[in-house]
Amino acid sequence: MTNTLQLKRTTNGYRHYISLPDGSHDDIHCGSMLEAQLGRWVGEEDNEEFRPGEWLSGRYEADLCSDNPKARLVLGYAYPSRDVVVVGLPLGVVVRRASK
């Protein structure tokens, strides 16, 4: 079992958390530094497998007031436009707290 991103509804609204292998959970908050695991295809064309790959690091953000809250990983800012570069995080993706 691995650390996965999950969503729960509490009396105060929605919350994302990291589900841990021992069954407990780690609450995360906007601004938390996280890493999400990417996948990669390996093998030959007719015998490919999808395997764990590199880790993508960024800042967790979410709009938890929505009826359909979405988690995002903010990677940084694009040069020279200064636009924010963001990746959506689907529920169930393997995540961990970013190493310092």
Radius of gyration for the chain, computed over Cα atoms and rounded to the nearest angstrom: 15
Number of domains observed in the structure of the chain:
1
Structure tokens at 42: 């390996």
35: three-class secondary structure by DSSP: strand
> What is the pLDDT, as a whole number, of residue 31?
96
| Contact residues for 67 (Cβ-Cβ < 8 A; gap 6+) | none
Q: What pLDDT was estimated at residue 44? A: 81
pLDDT < 70 regions, the chain: 1, 100
As given in the structure block, the two tokens for residue 35 are 């890493």
Question: What is the pLDDT, as a whole number, of residue 1?
Answer: 63
pLDDT at 81: 95
Domain span at residue 38 reads 4-97
Q: What gap in Å lies between CA 32 and CA 23, rounded to an integer?
A: 21
